Amino acid sequence: MTSLAQAISDDTLDVLLACRPVFTRNHDVAAFELLLQGEQSRKGATLRQIEASSPIIMGNYNQVYQKGHTKSVPGFLKVTDDVILAPGLPELSQQHYILEVAEDVLLTSERVERLRELAKRGYRIALSSYDPEDSELDALLDVVHIVKLDASQMSDEQLQAAVLKLRRHGVETLADNLETKERFATCLDLGFTYYQGDFLSVPSPVKGRKISGNKVLLLDLLNELQNPAASPIRLEEIALQDAKLTFRILKLVNSAAVSLHREINSISHAISLLGMKEIQRWASLFLIEGEQGKPEELTRKMLIRGRMCEVMAEVSGNGNASDNFIVGLLSLLDAMMDISMDELMQQVPLNQEVKEALLYRNGSLGTVLNEVELYEQGRFSELSLIGSHPIYETAYRHSVSWARQAQQALSGDS
């Protein structure tokens, strides 16, 4: 077992946890929804498990690198009766958590009063899957602070009526399950406060669009890195065609994201120390850097996915870790570039196994990518690659932290 695999295996929690970002109208991350699952998946995590996980959550999952600095954002934590009806108040930070009432909680007078007490004590309360036609929910409108509306299940007229009603009660609104940019634009016009869904990960392909700028040079470099006969000198010649690119690659590989104990001062030096596959990985980072008008969160998601694919491959022994990194990293390149994946695969010089994974989720590379996508979505019961499910959370947590470091390195803030 490698040192990384051993470290991952030795640092597990008894819960699974993934995060879904909650956005402002400007695509900034305002919060994360914490997808937390304990041993009994249908009942969610217990209060004991939540409190035990809280230091990990606040030290890792509530941190986001955005607009040049790292900041803390709150987490939406879906709570069950184990939390709502606990004999004592939960030992959770009011600043870092928004307690979300699950849609299947039976709102008896006892539960409503308990939520009212939690709100008076300083906890922010959110209500999910709000139905404006359910008059029984009106009793909560003077208690909750944020209401989630399922935009995939409601018409524009229903959403507008709900927003107006909630606004009269001074309640902030969150449009959930936004799967397209068009649906996001509709909810933006309706005046929602927050937005959630995969709409940022959906490409808007522009026919005939090509990868532009110095990224063409990066493609030449990546192509040469895949050549078994490539020499460090030839690779350095390609990189030196853009002095700024060479400087940035060296800065990146010298950053905290690589954890080296010596300074690297040339591309050939980097190759001799790290190997061509490692340089290929870092060169790939520049290929996925944000295009104009693309949110930082998309880059962050690509970095997390790439690193988690790499870690999961190493822990499971499923394929080449470096190729898994590239597959995860580039799996959202179509959304970043607004070029269809089919067209991208004609422009990007990658081996056929990588292309099959990106296009069809085929092969061992596709298996790992699909597994990581399931984890991101909180579909924990469908995981099958590794028998010990807690390892997934550790790999994900490690990848979140690594992505934050990589974002700092890419921005030059390291």
User: Per-residue pLDDT tens for 91-131?
Assistant: 789 999 999 997 778 888 999 999 999 999 999 999 998 88
Residue with the two structure tokens 């099958």: 384
Mean pLDDT, range 308-319, rounded to an integer: 92
d(C-alpha 305, C-alpha 309), whole Å: 6
Residue 102 three-state SS: coil
Q: Per-residue pLDDT for 1 more than 80?
A: no
Band (44; pLDDT cuts 50, 70, 90): low
In the chain, what are the domains?
Answer: 3-201 (3.20.20.450), 215-411 (1.10.3210.10)
245: which 2 tokens?
């690119």
What confidence tens digit (pLDDT) does each residue in 65-91 have? 999 999 999 999 988 888 888 887 677
d(C-alpha 346, C-alpha 349), whole Å: 8
What confidence tens digit (pLDDT) does each residue in 202-225 have? 999 988 888 876 788 888 888 788
| Dihedral angle sign, alpha carbons of residues 244, 246, 247, 253 | positive
Instruction: Give the pLDDT of residue 396.
Output: 97
Instruction: Give the pLDDT of residue 341.
Output: 95
Instruction: Give the pLDDT of residue 249.
Output: 81
Nearest-10 crossing angle of helices 363-376, 296-316: 120
114: which 2 tokens?
């308990």
Instruction: Give the pLDDT of residue 251.
Output: 81
Instruction: Give the pLDDT of residue 413.
Output: 60
Contact criterion met (CB below 8 Å) for 226 and 350: yes
Instruction: Give the pLDDT of residue 105.
Output: 80
| Listed range (24-28, 201-205, 253-257, 336-340) with the worst mean pLDDT | 253-257
d(C-alpha 19, C-alpha 123), whole Å: 20
Q: Per-residue pLDDT for 199 more than 80?
A: yes
The helix, strand and coil proportions of the chain, stated in percent and rounded to the nearest 5, come to 50, 10, 35
Instruction: Give the pLDDT of residue 259.
Output: 66
